[in-house]
Amino acid sequence: MKRPIIILFSLASFYLNPALKAQILTEGYLDLGKSMVSEGFYSQFSNICSFEKQKWGAQAGYQLGLVQPQDVIFNSWYASSYGKIKTGNIPLDLGAEYLWNAFSPDLRETNWIVFARTTLNHWQLGLGTSARTYRLSNKAAQNAPQFDTENRITEKWNMLYHATYVLKPYENRWNLSFSIRNYDRFIIQQENNPMYNLRFDYKLSTSLSAYSELWYKTAGLMVIRVTYYGMFLRLGVLWKI
């Protein structure tokens, strides 16, 4: 617990350094939903801080489980950095990320991720890969001495993808977008378990905007039957500092 808090505090201090001239964005959102494994209604709060200069950027965030089956309040955190380049007239972000997640009450998940993404006039596209590792939590390992605490299960070369269509120009006061993806900031699904997302954005001022998202999670794709896994509503606010 101490290590992620120290890392996030250090990143926040770095982002808010007034000597650094850059675009700083902070975001907070609340997820409210239900899934096949949530044992009823769940809610989670997330906070993200982004720092971007002309040729590079960094981002970090954490998630708090308010009502959730993991029984872990500080249940996820991540940190990422990326470089900004151009291929012809196409802008590209190339980066890497580390994600820690309390996958269940007794399991912990870590992901090392590399990604590429681009933003076009009406499209946002991304592709990446991750190496995912599962292990027992420290408490579960203490209660199960027959298992070696160093035991790990690793999945290599998991594919990550997302495609988003944005209806209006980005500078418009309101906007509507639709996306299909198998990952979000604190979620990485298998390649054949996509999520669908419908989002509405509204600019309250030049520096403050609000948004809402409706997410639909499936339990499979390219199989005989695509089954329902869960849905959740996200309500968020973004502030440009």
Which residue ranges make up each domain of the chain? Answer: 31-40+65-71+84-240
Structure token pair of residue 227: 């089954």
Q: CB under 8 Å to 145, separation ≥6 — which residues?
A: none
Give the pTM.
0.85
pLDDT digits (tens, 9 = 90+) for 25-78: 999 999 999 887 777 788 999 999 999 999 999 999 999 999 876 678 899 999
Average pLDDT on 194-222 reads 91
- Sort 62 into a burial class: Cβ within 10 Å, 0-12 / 13-18 / 19+: buried
- pLDDT confidence tier of residue 224, bands split at 50, 70 and 90: very low
Q: Residue 60 in contact with residue 80, Cβ under 8 Å?
A: yes
**Runs of H (alpha helix) within 131-241:** 138-143
Looking at every residue in the chain, the average pLDDT score rounds to 87
Out of 1-15, 91-105, 114-128, 131-145, least confident range: 1-15
Q: Residue 100 in contact with residue 85, Cβ under 8 Å?
A: no
- pLDDT confidence tier of residue 4, bands split at 50, 70 and 90: low
Average pLDDT on 134-160 reads 77
Q: What's the confidence (pLDDT) of residue 106?
A: 82
Under DSSP, the state recorded for 52 is: E
Name the more confident of 153 and 146. Answer: 153
3-class DSSP assignment, residue 91: strand
| Dihedral sign (CA 166, 168, 172, 177) | negative
Q: What's the confidence (pLDDT) of residue 172?
A: 96
